[in-house]
Amino acid sequence: MTTPLLSLRGVSKSYGQIKANRGIDLDVAPRSIHAILGENGAGKSTLMKLIYGVEQPDEGSLSWNGEAMALASPAEARRRGIGMVFQHFSLFETLTVVENIQLVMPGKKAELAERMRSLGRDFWLEVDPLAHMHALSVGERQRVEIIRCLMTDPKLLILDEPTSVLPPQAVEKLFETLRRLRDRGVSILFISHKLEEIRSLCDRATILRAGQVTGHVDPREHDAHELARMMIGRDMPQPTPPAPNAMGEKRLELIGLDYMPDDPFAVPLSKVSLTLRAGEILGIAGISGNGQSELAALISGETRLGQHEHDRIFMMGRDVGQMGAAARRRLGFAFVPEDRLGRGAVPEMSLTLNGLLTAHPLKLLRRGLVDRSKAKAFAEDCIRDYDVRTPGPDAEAGSLSGGNLQKFIVGREIMLAPGLLFVAQPTWGVDIGAAMAIRQRLVKLRNEGMAILVISEELEELFELSDFIQVLHHGTLSPPLVTRDTKPEEIGRYMIGSAPGSGKLAS
Ligand SMILES: Nc1ncnc2c1ncn2[C@@H]1O[C@H](COP(=O)(O)OP(=O)(O)OP(=O)(O)O)[C@@H](O)[C@H]1O
């Protein structure tokens, strides 16, 4: 057998009482694309942090090409030849691409730009080195991050959920890049929740459950159901079919909404119209950066319309364009923002206090003071009902794994029993078992009469959930399409702004 590039033996890491990794054995072969699979909180990110030197193991050992290795920092990992592309990019908006590279690499601008171009040609990573960061799409930004790693000539590249930020067209291109890198001798560790992607890309997979390895497999030899079973330890639940719906009352209406943002990097919206009724789910499809955040802020009340703009945004029949977020919530509106650590939760606060942020109207306050036992009970209910893996309501939001925090925030907003629920990226970073549970919950609420607006980049998710789909492209919204009479390619054409086909319009 060839010596593995990287080997871990008996590696453990705890955070207080939580054993995030327990006795992990892992071999990464040279020239392989190796997936790390596991539910939210299974310990994937912790393991990658140990391999990249961000954290050090409590027990166990690492070896590199057969020699023992201890990593005190990411800088040391990089010197050894380990690179990591993070989910959240760390690039400066106001600088050009090559200036961003120059921050971490010595060298003259012209030389660095030339090296970038040549790496770009070799690995299908074309980006203009002189372009300003803010003008680039998410896919291009990710390419810059990858190039930045490749400039240090790594032997192992770690990618943490790289496809969750990409539109479908860019995923296949990224895979081509990764295959080329593998063929030129780079090994790749690939974290993803998308089992079909793993089956098409990876030649090995290690499965984690509750911090322990439960299997090493060749993912091409198992179907997605089998992989899911290994991950969650049981079969996947089946989707809930939507019930036929009578036409309910209008809960949200946008009428010819125009919006010109002050921020030059934001996307203006033009003549956006939509109607959402009780008992319906409306999905907004589109590649991020086409006005999603601007539209979300106008609906949530984070952005208000000017004093003279009337009759553009209605909630529960009221003109709410000038109302703030709190006033809209009082009308029965609830909102799960895309940015869960920035807007959805305060990382330093406990789950109990994070529950209070939006759930205080549920009588969790008494004479202006927090009713501690009720607030705690609310957080406990949310943790139980939404399968949030955490030691309890006193845990800080920031200590939860990404997917578990998302489950908590979605649960908190649903428990408000709103008339109108707006969810941005409902299952972003959530593992497949939990994603299915969240979708089932949304369909059940729709069947019970809730009006639900969903923004998602995942077409499959929108097809599973929505009664109607509208596509946001360059700040304009397509007409509503009846989901069951529309094909994904049709939506795809609207997504890239090419002429619409024959998708059946909703009457
Ligand atoms: N800094 C920390 N402090 C306390 N607990 C932590 C910390 N980082 C991770 N944990 C805990 O360790 C466990 C493993 O978390 P980790 O982020 O590695 O999971 P994951 O598999 O990457 O999950 P996800 O798919 O949701 O990103 C979780 O229970 C998490 O709450």
Residue pLDDT, tens place only, 252-301: 999 999 999 888 778 899 999 999 999 999 999 987 778 998 999 999 99
Residue 499 confidence class, pLDDT cut points 50, 70, 90: very low
Per the domain annotation, does 442 fall within a domain?
A: yes
If one counts every other C-beta atom within 10 angstroms of the C-beta of residue 321, the result is 21
Smallest CA-to-CA distance from 142 within 115, 130, 160, 122 is with 160
Specify the higher pLDDT residue, 35 or 245: 35
How far is ligand 1, taken at its centre, from the CA of residue 20, in Å? Answer: 6
**Length, in residues, of the chain:** 507
Per the domain annotation, does 214 fall within a domain?
A: yes
Per the domain annotation, does 1 fall within a domain?
A: no
The reply to whether 316 and 464 lie within a common domain is yes
> 475 CB under 6 A from ligand 1?
no
pLDDT in tens, 96-108: 999 988 887 888 9
pLDDT on residue 502: 41
The reply to whether 328 and 466 lie within a common domain is yes
pLDDT in tens, 182-220: 999 999 999 988 888 899 999 999 999 989 999 999 999
pLDDT on residue 367: 77
The reply to whether 383 and 255 lie within a common domain is no
Tokens, residue 478: 């397509």
> 40 CB under 6 A from ligand 1?
yes
Per the domain annotation, does 342 fall within a domain?
A: no
Among 169, 198, 232, the domain boundary falls at 232
How much of the chain, in percent, has pLDDT values that exceed 90? 52
> 42 CB under 6 A from ligand 1?
yes
> 480 CB under 6 A from ligand 1?
no
Interatomic CA distance for residues 334 and 344, integer angstroms: 12
Task: Give the domain range for residue 323.
Answer: 242-332+418-507
Question: Which ligand 1 atom is nearest residue 400's CA?
Answer: 31
Question: Which ligand 1 atom is nearest residue 38's CA?
Answer: 21
pLDDT in tens, 213-260: 999 999 999 888 888 888 877 766 666 666 667 788 999 999 999 999
Specify the higher pLDDT residue, 66 or 505: 66
The reply to whether 249 and 213 lie within a common domain is no
Give the CATH number, domain containing residue 434: 3.40.50.300
Asked if pLDDT for residue 503 goes beyond 60, the answer is no
pLDDT on residue 265: 75
CA-to-CA separations, 376 to 335, 355, 386, 389, in angstroms, rounded: 21, 9, 15, 16
pLDDT on residue 278: 95
Per the domain annotation, does 237 fall within a domain?
A: no
pLDDT in tens, 113-163: 999 998 888 887 888 899 988 877 777 888 888 888 888 889 999 998 887
Three-state SS for 314-370 is EECCEECCCCCHHHHHHCCEEEECCCHHHHHCCCCCEHHHHHHHHHCCCCCEECCEE
The reply to whether 212 and 255 lie within a common domain is no
pLDDT on residue 170: 74
pLDDT in tens, 444-491: 899 999 999 999 888 888 988 999 999 999 999 999 999 988 887 788
How far is ligand 1, taken at its centre, from the CA of residue 64, in Å? Answer: 25
pLDDT in tens, 351-374: 999 998 888 877 777 777 778 888
> 400 CB under 6 A from ligand 1?
yes
Smallest CA-to-CA distance from 97 within 67, 120, 127, 129 is with 129
The reply to whether 426 and 407 lie within a common domain is no
In the chain the first and final C-alpha atoms are separated, in Å, by: 64
> 43 CB under 6 A from ligand 1?
yes
Name the residue at shortest CA distance from atom 5 of ligand 1.
399
pLDDT in tens, 57-95: 999 999 999 999 999 999 999 999 999 987 666 777 788
pLDDT on residue 243: 66
The reply to whether 117 and 174 lie within a common domain is yes
Candidate from 22, 37, 45, 47 with most ligand 1 atoms within 8 A of CB, to mutate: 45
Question: Which ligand 1 atom is nearest residue 403's CA?
Answer: 26
pLDDT on residue 171: 81
Interatomic CA distance for residues 505 and 205, integer angstroms: 43
Per the domain annotation, does 338 fall within a domain?
A: no
The reply to whether 255 and 184 lie within a common domain is no
User: What domain count does the chain have?
Assistant: 3
Beta strand pairing status for 67-69 and 59-64? antiparallel
Residue 328 confidence class, pLDDT cut points 50, 70, 90: very high
How far is ligand 1, taken at its centre, from the CA of residue 41, in Å? Answer: 5
> 11 CB under 6 A from ligand 1?
no
Among 413, 433, 462, the domain boundary falls at 413
pLDDT in tens, 430-440: 888 888 888 88
> 406 CB under 6 A from ligand 1?
no
Among 360, 388, 413, the domain boundary falls at 413
Name the residue at shortest CA distance from atom 24 of ligand 1.
40
pLDDT on residue 362: 79
CA-to-CA separations, 383 to 205, 348, 415, in angstroms, rounded: 30, 18, 11
How far is ligand 1, taken at its centre, from the CA of residue 46, in Å? Answer: 6
> 46 CB under 6 A from ligand 1?
yes
The reply to whether 123 and 205 lie within a common domain is yes
pLDDT on residue 383: 95
Question: Which ligand 1 atom is nearest residue 405's CA?
Answer: 26
> 399 CB under 6 A from ligand 1?
yes
The reply to whether 400 and 422 lie within a common domain is no
The reply to whether 270 and 196 lie within a common domain is no
How far is ligand 1, taken at its centre, from the CA of residue 44, in Å? Answer: 8
Candidate from 399, 406, 410, 428 with most ligand 1 atoms within 8 A of CB, to mutate: 399
> 41 CB under 6 A from ligand 1?
yes
The reply to whether 54 and 191 lie within a common domain is yes
